[in-house]
Amino acid sequence: MTEWVKRPKSYVPDLRQLGALCDGNYQRLRKLRKLEVDGQPVCEIELHREHQYLGRVRIEVLQTARFTETLLLEQVHNSGRWLNNPRMTVRVYHDAAMAEVISCYRHRQIAPVNDYPNRFMHHPDEKVQVNGFLADWLDYCLRFGHLPMEHAAWTAGQGVD
């Protein structure tokens, strides 16, 4: 007598969803980086809602190539607003107009698909979830982000918007 063992259906990533997130993240980063001064490897953006200081986001260019950039995005000086300060390495593909998270927090690579359960209890769709978080974080930065006051005073005299 042969017993058939029913295996759980393996996770298949939704490439359209991931692609849409990466496309949107590229556009969000372009808008956000318009605040930075040309040629500077680091840009800091302060977050304010009305008169409340919400923290500062730092964008650092780690590596530049012909069609790609690698950026480090991190929340700093947060005044306790975040449980954990977000810290992500993002690869920007200018030729494809896409930006995707390649590592998060502890410099680990994010696998496109994770077996579940796994040693670190990563979700099968963790890559989609992390890129979705980046989209939300960038939207938040676009909504509440401003140049720091000392930088804004300097750029006002330089004609930078």
Its pTM stands at 0.77
* Long-range own/partner contacts, residues 36-41 (CB < 8 A, 24 or more apart): 37/151, 37/155, 37/160
pLDDT, one tens digit for every residue, the chain (161 residues)? 556 666 666 767 678 999 999 999 999 999 988 766 566 788 888 988 888 888 899 999 999 999 999 999 998 865 555 567 889 999 999 999 999 999 887 657 776 666 667 676 666 688 888 999 999 999 999 999 887 665 443 333 333 33
Q: What is the longest distance spanned by two Cα atoms in the chain? A: 85
Residue 41 has what pLDDT?
A: 84
The pLDDT score that the predictor gives to residue 52 is 87
Residue 107 φ/ψ region, left for φ over 0, alpha for ψ in the -120 to 50 degree band, beta for the rest: left
Dist CA 62 CA 42 (whole Å): 9
